[in-house]
Every structure is written in structure tokens, then in C-alpha cells.
Structure 1
Amino acid sequence: MADHSTPVHSSAATGFFQVLPEIKPQYTSPSLSSSAQSVSDDVVLARILHQYLPPQAQRDIGAAVHNLSRRVLHPSMLRHAVEAETNPPTLQTFTTFGKENRDDPLRTCEGWKALKAIGIEEGVVSRAYDQGQTTHNRRVEQFGLGHVWSHTSTLTMCPMSMTDGAATLLQRHIQDPDGDQPGRHAVLVESYRRLVSSDSREAWTSGQWMTERTGGSDVSGTETMARRLSAEELAVERSTGCDQDAIGQPLGPWRIDGFKWFSSATDSDMTMLLAKTAKGLSCFYVPMRRRVAGSSSTELNGIRIQRLKNKLGTKGLPTAELEIKGARGWLIGEEGKGVKEISAILNITRIHTATGSASYWSRGLSVCRAYSQVRKVRGRFLYENAQHVFWMARETVKYWAATHFVFFGAALLGCAEQGWDAAVRGSAAEKLIPRDQRARDALLRLLTPVMKAQVSMAAVSGLREAMECLGGVGYCENYEDGGILNLAKLFRDSVANTIWEGTASVMAEDVRRVLRDKRLGGGHALEAVFTPWVKDVLQPCQGVFAEECSIIEERLQALFSAVQGKDEHELEYRGRDILEHLEAIACATLLLYNASSDGNQVARHVASRYTWSKALPHSQYRPKQRDWKYEAEIDYLIFLGENFSAGRAQQVKL
């Protein structure tokens, strides 16, 4: 008989309710998995750790990444992240009766503080400086952890990246003699120790202050001034008890006055900044706080927070305009050579910016995979929609390329700090990373601005696509359920990475300088360094990927045409084209190398698809025409993985 029952309307408490997607841990260590199939949700991260780390390090570091990838999904962690986003910093400039609040004008929430402490304890900075680890690439270890942490850290990785840069800079000067700054050596030793500590009770974070109202990356118009205090002035400071920082170290002999227009990590313990002296732009170390004369309390060290910035994203991060009036600091390096000194920080923070962008993107795709497995449309799961899976597979290919790119940068950085034997020997990257130090250094210098520009922009695009995958849900600020589906937040935060530490245009200018730098390949970095590296790496890939290697060769020739014989004005004009060529060639090379290492079918599909997507319009090579059903099965493998079981998984051969 026909069912003539009356349809029941929905209500606030009845009717359809979408199943909450289950976000899986990003990385699963084979040695720690209880499952017969120990497969990471983020397949490319697993392949990268396997490529750059020797076997024992894969087990040890893999365990740390395994555990953190689960910790970030714990409800307590997610609550910290939501609080840091929804309870942003506030500024209380004055006390109740109108006196300037020099003690604690900046207030941050407990969630923000907890996330900073967790990052410190997990070693997101300290692991790169552990001198006891000499058998693997410490930067790959550090950024491997960062990859499963940044997307949940709610921008606490911003101060951590600047802390990393400050530690690198101080490390270079820690053995400098005091000279005419008595006591500086001891100050730098203690400050460095705290910057690289994994004990959150004593660890420090650092800011980096360069930007002024005259212009972002153009520091030539810096209006912050520094002058050396006279012996008489220093004596007065000592007599009044105003000459120690918050932990009792002596304050530096320089006085700094000025205004910084965009200063992130304002709640840090110290900062590195640029100021003009009689000899030009110079670099200074400045503690954030100093002791109050005749008291056990502390106050800001000649720093007044004018106002907090109201930004599109990065809501939990205290970014401020600062007036500097009588701050005491120490000159770092040679007076008048501050830009050279601060560049040590920029090289680190730019890699952090690129790797952080890839981390955000990874979470976005993880949400898409989980959502596609539970969301039904017209009676079918999204993963059963061939167009949807094709779209997501295309995005996954882009993500793999970007992630390989940034980890190559991290690996080169580790080699620069540790040497080839300590950082590479015994790993599957032995034929990927040049043994020659000059070649490695030149590659790192050339590719750092490329990955910073291109990966940051690609992640914004990728996260927008991920938002669309969820439809209206993706556009909402989803703070419920620990905010695990809040892709809008990740999108907003990721946009900052395209601007901070230099826009794509600034990065293009930087690449232009590298191409003409006589210290790098004699002013011929493309011919002497980049091209030999590409050809050496691709040589063993020719057997399986002959046409793909030819496509890369065509891109190389196009890059030469864009650079060779061009004057500075034309190079400037073609700057972004040059960035795109370098990115396409480097990413394709890295993907093909990795795919050739073990014959994994998904890695081969990804490498081939990415390379073909970068073929020039006039290329003489054309991809093979395959049946759409065959291509759809490849899409399925790339997006959802080889081990996803839905009753239709097939083995597909390249």
C-alpha cells in the first residue's frame, strides 16, 4: 500500500542535521600506528619527512610530529585557538585617574598565552638550535612540526618566526667583543639562551620593528633615531636605578627615539629594530621592559603603545603603532650596516611565512577531504561527484608542489647552518641538495623570495577554493565545535602572508638583485647555479618522465629569454613573470625527483600533472589523451588517497 502519512516539518530541534566531518590527524608515524594501514592524512608531508630525514630521525622526529598532529585536534587546544581569535588584545593606555599606564597597557587573553607556551614547549623554535642533534637536518625537523602546528597556533607563530630570526642574528654576534659597549656579551648570551629555550617559564619571544609611516619595505626613510649616551648621562641613569632590564641585565648605552607604524608581536620580551645614527641605518637590540627605580616592578622600556591595528585577519596577534621615547638598547654589528644585519632575520621570517601559508592550506584541504566524505547532495556523497573530485584533485596537486617547495627551502637553510654531511648524508635527499656550499647558498638566496611570494599567494587562492568546497558553511565564521571548520579565519589570516615581510613586487625586486649579484655565480646565478641544479636533479628522472623533463627545459629557455641581455628596467618590468618561471621549474623538479624515488603511483600522477599544467602555451609537447573515467580515477587517488575505502577504489597505473 502507498504511504499516505503526512510529511513532518522541520524545526530548530528536528529534521536534517549534517554529520560533523571528522578531521583526521595530519601525520601518522608507521611505528606508532595501531592500524594495519598507517597512512597520513597529509600524504605529501609524510613523503617529505621520509625524503629529508635518515631512518632513525624519521622514527624519532616522526613520533613528535605524530603526537603534535593529534594534540592540535584536542578540544582543549581548539578552545585556546577560538579564545585567541574571539577575545583579541586590548589596550588600556591610562590608569583609572588618567595616569599613563606604563606597566601593563597591553592585555592578551589566556588562550593566546597558552598557545605561545605550547609552541615553545613543542620546540617550534628551539629544535632548530639544538646543537646536540648532529645527524639530521634540524630545520626539516623544526618545520615538520610547524606544518602541523601553524594552522592551529592562531598566529603565535608570528612572534615565533621573529624569535627564530632574532636568535639567528644574535648567534652571529654572540662572540663579538664588547668593544665600547661594556656588558653586551653577557646580555646577548643570556638573551640568546632564552630565545632558544623550550621552557615556557623562561623562554623569550622577539619582535622585529622596521616599518614606519614613510613606507613599508622602503626603510630608507626611517625617522627613528639613535644616539650614544654620554658618560655623564649613563652615570645619572645608574644613580637613579634606571639602568637594568626586567631580569636585571644592564640596559644598553644607546638611546632610541621615533615611531614604528606597524609592529607585530608587541607582547614580546625584546625586539630587533632599525634606527638611524650618524653613520646611517643601524640595527639595535632593545629589551621591552626595564626595572622601575626603587621597586621590584617593571615598566615598558621607553615604549608607548599608541594604538592596536584593526586588521582583516590575524585578530589574536597584537599589532601596534609604537612611540619610542628614550628606549635603551645595544648596537648589533657595525654602525650604519643595519639593513645587512636585519636581513638575517628577514631570510628566516620569509621562510616561516611561506611554510606557514602551506600549513594553513594543508588544514583547508584536510577539511575538504573530511567534508566530501560525509556531505550528501541529491542523494550522493560529494566524493561520488566526478567534477567535485576533479576540482579538489587539481587543488591538491598545487598544494603538493608548494609544500615540496617550502621544505626544500627549509632543507637548504639547515644545510647552510649545519653543513651537508650533518644535514643530508644518509637521507634520500643526497642527490637533491648540492654538496657545494656556494651552490647551496646561492640556491637558497635565489629561491627564498620566490617561495615567499608564490606560495603565500597560492595558499590564499587555495583556501578560497576550500571555502567554496563547503559552500555557505565555508563562508561562515564557524567557532562552534572548536572552530575546526573555520576556513574563513584561515583565509583571512593567510592574506597577511602575501604582505608581511615583503609583497610579491618586493620579492621580485629581491630576485632581480640576486640575478645580478656578483657574489652569486659571478652575477650569473641562473646559468651557474640554478640550471645545473635542475639538470642534475632531473637526470635520473628521464627514464619515466622524459616528456615532463622536456617541458621543464622549455620553461628554462623561457626564463633565460626573460633575463639574458635585459637591462635593469626590463628586468623590473618582467619581475613577476620571472617569479612564475622560477616557481614552476623548481616545483616540477622537486616533484619529479620525489616521485622517482619509490614509484608511488599517486606521487607520479601529481608530479606529471603539475608539470603538464606548467607547459608553455606554445609547447611542442601535448599531454596524452586518456578516457575521462581513467582521469577521474586518478583524481580520486590524488584527493582522497590510495587507502580510502568507499567500495570503488581501484589500482590505477600511470
Structure 2
Amino acid sequence: MESSGANKGFFQQEPILKNQLYDDVVLQRVIKLFLPSGVRESVEPDLARFGDSVLSPAIFNWITDAERNLPYIRGNGRGAFGKPRSELVVTEGWRKLQDFGIQNGVVAFNYDTDHRQFSRLIQCVRLHLWEASCANTLCPAAMQDGAARLLQLHLANPKSHLDSVQRRVFQDAFDRLTSRDPATAWTSGQWMTERTGGSDVSQTETVATYSPLDVSSGSQLADMERNIPLGPWLIKGFKWFSSATDSGMTILLAKTEPGKGLSAFYAPMRRYNADLISATGKKGGYELNGVNISRMKNKLGTQSLPTAELELAGMRGWLVGEEGKGIQQISTILTVTRVHSTIASLGYLGRGLAIAKSYALVREIGIGKGRRVPLWKNPLHMRTLASITGEYHSMMLLTFFTIYVMGLEEAKGKLRNVQSPLGSKLTPPEKHVTPLLRVLSSVHKAYCCENTIPQLYGCMEALGGVGYLVNSETEHVNVARIFRDACVLAIWEGTTDVLSSDTLRALKHPALGKQSLDALDWFVKAALNSLSGTVEAVAVAKEWDTLKLRIETESQESLLAEARSIVFRIAEVLMALLALVDVKINGGAEAEVMARRFLAKKNFIGDKTDSSKGTVDLDTAIVYGTGPADASITVSKL
């Protein structure tokens, strides 16, 4: 018998990742549930191409580079002769990944295509495919998307009362935010967090003063080539978290007068300075717009992302909306960025499952008496992966239902005359769209971003010890990196507790709370009718009635301690009904099993333990979408 060595003996075959558009059976079910067949057929070639390209060797090389060579401030913030100098340096991998996303329209798709109410949903399918390969470049892209939506609303609304100069400034920023040209495109920051309050922005210490400039002077331009002036507001303060320090612009909150509330401002990150002198003596150039990078943040995850503390020392900006109404402006951005956060968490989980599935196909285990079988033939392992897949399925349904409603809200007045497979009975009427979205925008993020973390850990555990390693040398199976990055998603854009409190506040709002509660009630009743009052649907509806009564009759103060459990239960009610609807519309024995297990696990129905011989095959079908005999070779199609 020959011994093993460093370069001889057994070497585990590497898992192979397939295009997740076809390999991810949950993603396929979601696409079929929400997108009409004609729309699916028209976008499938582009989605398939994109799904292949995000798994290319170049992408994984750029990820490794972005993770290894972290962003830093050149000279620790000073030049050779001691003069302050805020120059952020990011690696080539980061820049290449960001350019790839821009060129492929990960943000622009929602603004330069014409799928009406389905544009946002298709965009999010593309985001889902890209998330685990983007090395966090979709974080600034999320804020870019939110800022684009905010400016789009102001440019389209006559009540915004934009003068000709401000309209030109906003239009220029919007064009950059929605561009597919990396040379001109901008990402955006979203500066709210300060040392005083974290998520409590009421304690903001940043101050904006109205102090107009003489725009006839070329030295007062944000962009000389485009003749874009700097804003009339002078902004000073300190922002404790900037997760897009390399962005082209930002939307930020600041106080203007005591007691007037917070206001929102748009500010470019750079400005033209005619007095700057280059190293070769050339006069004129661009500098940061009154921003000093204080220090970079050292984080558990998202290490490739340039996160910094920023001092605003005379930043020039433009007021967005009415003075003192900044929270309303930021809420528009948050609706978008929270969807991005949840799509990120689910994109990570989808990739984690893809890695675990592919590993199970190539890994063999001993079963006694010298016999060995592929890991995917182990009933316990398949049950574990099927359980993770079931949780993933339910969260995908909730999230994409939210995105579907969001698409309806964004396309008001220009809906296409074509129905989603959900049908008219499960598509909220116009009066319920905005109130429903008001609640869903915090519910989906609170539930999914928290609950994907243990599921993603399960994917890491499914690889054993190698899953715990930061496999940068084999980047496509580096689930540890993905797990590390996923942890922040339950924190930024509102922690789970903050979002739970926000949801409770929205449902108990004296003027608008009843509208949101009625919208939720409408969906529960519509789903119950659609499902013809099955035993399972009735059980879920009864749970909702009990929950709704508590929300209606108890005070906000008495419910606050249980806000998290209330929000999670609302999410579980919606997921249970959507799972049953998915079974009815898309069919499949594996979907029935997933729905039944979910309802039992969440205590809607009694636990009926699967004990039949065929459950191993069903578990395999849940995970792979195929039977055990051909799991390694069959590729399902949309």
C-alpha cells in the first residue's frame, strides 16, 4: 500500500457551478409564478447569458483581488509634505466588478427598459444572479438605484417646483445614475448614520446653511465640462458610516433650523477647482466636494467595500423636496435599498445552496462494510438540504411578492395589459398597492435578512471543514466569504428590531395604519378564495384573524416588546399562503411537500412526519428538481 503525500494520494474533485437561472429550482418557480410567459420568453436569453457571465473565471479572479487588496487612504490622509489629502484607493478587481455591473445594467435595467410593472422584478432576478459574484459592488449600486428612483420622482412631479438650473442638475445626476457607460456612470452614497443615534436619525448633528454661490464663476462648478453648478447649501458635519466612499454623489440628511426637522440633500462627491495645480504644473482639476475621509472602517465582512467615516467641511449640495421633510425623501430610497438587501441575502443563500448541491454530487461517503456512495444519496444529508431549500423557497416568495407590488406602485398609470400568473384576483387593486408596500418593505427585510444567516451557515456546514475555509484559491466554492458578508444584511438599512418597530408604527398609525392593515387583510382573503378554502389555507387565515385582532385592539406600547414576533408572524402568514398559491399555479409534488413542511414547522397545521419510502426521492427533487438517478446530469429549463 502506497502512502499519501502532499502531491499524491486522494484529491477531492472540485464542485462545478451551473448557471443558476436553470440550476436554482426555487428561482425558476418564482419566475414562473410572477412573470407572464411572454415576458419570460422575451428576457430568458439575456438572463441566461448573464447567468453564465457571472460565473466566468475573470469574475472570480476579480473577487479574489478585491478581497485580498482592500481599499485604503493613500498616505494615511496626508501628502509627503504633510498637507491633508483624502485620496481613496480601490483595487482593480473592485473597479472591474463595478464596471461589469454598470455595463450589464444592474441598475439601469429598471429605467431604460419598458417591461412596465415587471421591470423591477426582472431587474431583481438579474440582481439575484449577480449578488454572490459582485464582491459587494451591489451595495453602492443599491443606493444608486434608490437615488435614481428619488430623482426620477422629482423630475416627473410638477409639484417639486424645480427651477431650470436645479432641473438640469437633477437630470444630469439621474442620467449618470442610470447610465451603462462606466466612464460616466455614478454610484451613490446614502449618508444618514451619525455617532449620536445610529438608526435614530433625529439626533443628526450635520447642519446645512443656505448660502448661494455666484454660479457665473467657473470655480463654482461641480462639473466644468457639463457646466453643472454646485448647490446653494453649505453642509457641515460628520457621517459615521459611508458604505460607498468611491461614489459619484450622495443623498444625505442634515438639519437646517432648530425645530424644523431633517432635510434631504443631493451633493456630488467632487467639484472643479480652477486653482488646483497638478504634479506637472497643469492648472485646474477635480477635488472632493468639501469631504475629508477621516478613516476607513475595519469590518467582519464586506471587506472589499470602501466604508469610511467622513467629515463634511463645506460640502455643497441641493435641497431635495421640502425643507424639514427629509425623512419622506429617504424613505423612497429605503424602499429600494431594503429590497436590494433582501435580494443580496437570498442571492447569497441561493449561491450557498448551489455550492452545497454541487459538492454533494462529487463527494463520496462511507456507509459501512467498505461501501461508498455519493453524498447526495445520503437520506439525512438530502433532508438537511431540502429543509434549507424549503426556507429559501418561502423567503423568495415573500421577497418577490414584495417586488411585484413594488413594480405595480412604480408603474402606476402605465401598466401593461397582461396579467402575472398570479392573476387579477391576487394582484392588489390600486388602492391597496401603496399601503401594502408600506408594510411589506420592512417585513420582508426584517424576516429574510435575519433568517438567511442560519440557512447559509447550514450550506457552509454541508461542506464540512472545507466549507469553513476562506477558499480564495478556489473562489467559486468560497461559501465562507459569502456567509461573512451576509451577516451585515440584518443590520444595515435598519436592524431587525428597528424594522419591527417601524412596521408596528406603520400598522398603528392613526391616519394610515388601517389602510395597511386592510391591504394585508385583502391579500389573505383573496388568497383564501383563490385556494378554495382548503384546510391549510383556512388554518393560515384563522391565524391572521387572531393576529389582526391583536394589532387592532392593543396599544402600540403594549405590543412593542413583541414587535419582532408580530412581524415574523405576518411574514409567515404571507409565506404560507404564497407557498400554497405556488402549489396551485405551478404544481409539483415537491412543492406540496415544501408547503406542508413549512406550515407544520410554523405551527399552522399539525406535524405529519414524512415516513414513506418515497420521501428520499422527494427531498432530492426539492433540492435538485430531478430524481436521484439523474441529479448530476439533468439541467432543468424555464
After TM superposition, the score normalised by the length of structure 2 is: 0.92
Q: Report the equivalent of 1:529.
A: 519
Q: Report the equivalent of 1:34.
A: none
User: Which one of 8, 11, 23 corresponds to residue 14 of structure 1?
Assistant: 8
User: Which one of 81, 88, 95 corresponds to residue 79 of structure 2?
Assistant: 95
Q: CA deviation at 1:435?
A: 4.4
Q: Which amino acid aligns with 2:530?
A: P
Pick closer, same or farther for the CA change 1:135–1:266 going to 2, 3 Å.
closer
Q: CA RMSD in A?
A: 2.2
Kept after mapping to 2: 8 A contact 1:51/1:428: yes
For the residue of structure 2 that corresponds to 1:328, the secondary structure is strand
Q: Report the equivalent of 2:559.
A: 571
Distance 1:421 1:192 in 2: 21
User: Which one of 236, 239, 256 corresponds to residue 257 of structure 1?
Assistant: 236
Q: What does the per-residue CA deviation read over 1:455-495, in whole Å, with 9 as the maximum and x for residues that have no partner?
A: 001111111111110111111000113x1111111111111
Q: Report the equivalent of 1:400.
A: 393
Q: Report the equivalent of 1:270.
A: 249
Pick closer, same or farther for the CA change 1:624–1:423 going to 2, 3 Å.
farther
Q: Report the equivalent of 1:600.
A: 588
The answer to whether the aligner puts 1:450 opposite 2:443 as a matched pair is: yes
Kept after mapping to 2: 8 A contact 1:274/1:283: yes
Q: Report the equivalent of 2:92.
A: 110
Q: Which amino acid aligns with 2:11?
A: F
The answer to whether the aligner puts 1:633 opposite 2:617 as a matched pair is: yes
Pick closer, same or farther for the CA change 1:647–1:111 going to 2, 3 Å.
closer
Q: Report the equivalent of 2:279.
A: none
Pick closer, same or farther for the CA change 1:602–1:296 going to 2, 3 Å.
farther
Pick closer, same or farther for the CA change 1:9–1:353 going to 2, 3 Å.
same
Pick closer, same or farther for the CA change 1:633–1:287 going to 2, 3 Å.
same
For the residue of structure 1 that corresponds to 2:81, the secondary structure is coil
Q: Which amino acid aligns with 1:622?
A: G
Distance 1:359 1:152 in 2: 9
Distance 1:647 1:372 in 2: 10
Q: What does the per-residue CA deviation read over 1:69-109, in whole Å, with 9 as the maximum and x for residues that have no partner?
A: 1111110111111111111101121122222225xx10001
Q: Which amino acid aligns with 1:156?
A: T
Structure 1: give runs of 5+ residues left out of the alignment: 1-6, 28-39, 650-654
Kept after mapping to 1: 8 A contact 2:263/2:322: yes
The answer to whether the aligner puts 1:589 opposite 2:577 as a matched pair is: yes
Kept after mapping to 2: 8 A contact 1:154/1:316: yes
Q: Which amino acid aligns with 1:360?
A: Y
Pick closer, same or farther for the CA change 1:254–1:382 going to 2, 3 Å.
same
Q: CA deviation at 1:601?
A: 2.1
Kept after mapping to 2: 8 A contact 1:245/1:287: no
Distance 1:318 1:602 in 2: 43
Kept after mapping to 2: 8 A contact 1:508/1:579: yes
Distance 1:252 1:524 in 2: 38
Distance 1:259 1:368 in 2: 43
Distance 1:577 1:62 in 2: 39
The answer to whether the aligner puts 1:336 opposite 2:317 as a matched pair is: no
For the residue of structure 2 that corresponds to 1:306, the secondary structure is strand
Q: Which amino acid aligns with 1:120?
A: I
Q: Report the equivalent of 2:364.
A: 376
Q: CA deviation at 1:256?
A: 0.3
Q: Which amino acid aligns with 1:254?
A: W
For the residue of structure 1 that corresponds to 2:222, the secondary structure is coil
Q: Percent identity?
A: 38
The answer to whether the aligner puts 1:170 opposite 2:164 as a matched pair is: no
Q: CA deviation at 1:608?
A: 2.1
Pick closer, same or farther for the CA change 1:647–1:25 going to 2, 3 Å.
closer
Kept after mapping to 1: 8 A contact 2:589/2:618: no
Kept after mapping to 2: 8 A contact 1:88/1:316: yes
Tell me which moved more, 485-494 or 562-571.
562-571
Kept after mapping to 2: 8 A contact 1:518/1:524: no
Query: How many residue pairs end up in the alignment?
Result: 615
User: Which one of 498, 504, 514 corresponds to residue 512 of structure 1?
Assistant: 504
Q: CA deviation at 1:499?
A: 0.3
Q: Report the equivalent of 1:23.
A: 17
Distance 1:333 1:122 in 2: 31
User: Which one of 307, 311, 316 corresponds to residue 319 of structure 1?
Assistant: 307
Q: Report the equivalent of 2:529.
A: 539
Tell me which moved more, 397-406 or 629-638.
629-638
Q: Report the equivalent of 1:3.
A: none
Pick closer, same or farther for the CA change 1:478–1:512 going to 2, 3 Å.
same
The answer to whether the aligner puts 1:185 opposite 2:177 as a matched pair is: no
For the residue of structure 2 that corresponds to 1:19, the secondary structure is coil
Q: Which amino acid aligns with 1:280?
A: G
For the residue of structure 1 that corresponds to 2:15, the secondary structure is coil
Pick closer, same or farther for the CA change 1:327–1:120 going to 2, 3 Å.
same
Q: What does the per-residue CA deviation read over 1:497-541, in whole Å, with 9 as the maximum and x for residues that have no partner?
A: 000000011111111111123444x62633x22122112123232
Kept after mapping to 2: 8 A contact 1:275/1:283: yes
Distance 2:434 2:537 in 1: 25
Higher relative CO (Cα under 8 Å, sequence separation at least 6) belongs to: 2
Distance 1:312 1:551 in 2: 42
Distance 1:448 1:24 in 2: 31
Q: Report the equivalent of 2:37.
A: 55
Q: Which amino acid aligns with 1:525?
A: S
Distance 2:632 2:449 in 1: 36
The answer to whether the aligner puts 1:413 opposite 2:406 as a matched pair is: yes
Q: Report the equivalent of 1:244.
A: 222
Q: What does the per-residue CA deviation read over 1:202-221, in whole Å, with 9 as the maximum and x for residues that have no partner?
A: 21111100000002110111
Distance 1:529 1:337 in 2: 26
Q: Report the equivalent of 2:280.
A: none
Structure 2: give runs of 5+ residues left out of the alignment: 276-282, 367-371, 634-638
Kept after mapping to 1: 8 A contact 2:116/2:411: no
Pick closer, same or farther for the CA change 1:213–1:410 going to 2, 3 Å.
same
Distance 1:221 1:648 in 2: 56
The answer to whether the aligner puts 1:436 opposite 2:435 as a matched pair is: no
Distance 2:632 2:418 in 1: 42
Q: Report the equivalent of 1:499.
A: 491
Q: CA deviation at 1:123?
A: 1.3
Distance 2:516 2:335 in 1: 18
For the residue of structure 1 that corresponds to 2:304, the secondary structure is coil
Distance 1:460 1:178 in 2: 41
Q: CA deviation at 1:242?
A: 3.5
Distance 2:98 2:181 in 1: 11
Distance 2:116 2:410 in 1: 13
Kept after mapping to 2: 8 A contact 1:307/1:322: yes
Pick closer, same or farther for the CA change 1:313–1:552 going to 2, 3 Å.
same
Pick closer, same or farther for the CA change 1:432–1:129 going to 2, 3 Å.
farther
The answer to whether the aligner puts 1:208 opposite 2:198 as a matched pair is: no
Q: CA deviation at 1:428?
A: 0.6
Kept after mapping to 1: 8 A contact 2:528/2:541: no
Kept after mapping to 1: 8 A contact 2:254/2:262: yes
Kept after mapping to 1: 8 A contact 2:243/2:306: yes
Distance 2:45 2:327 in 1: 40
Q: CA deviation at 1:603?
A: 2.0
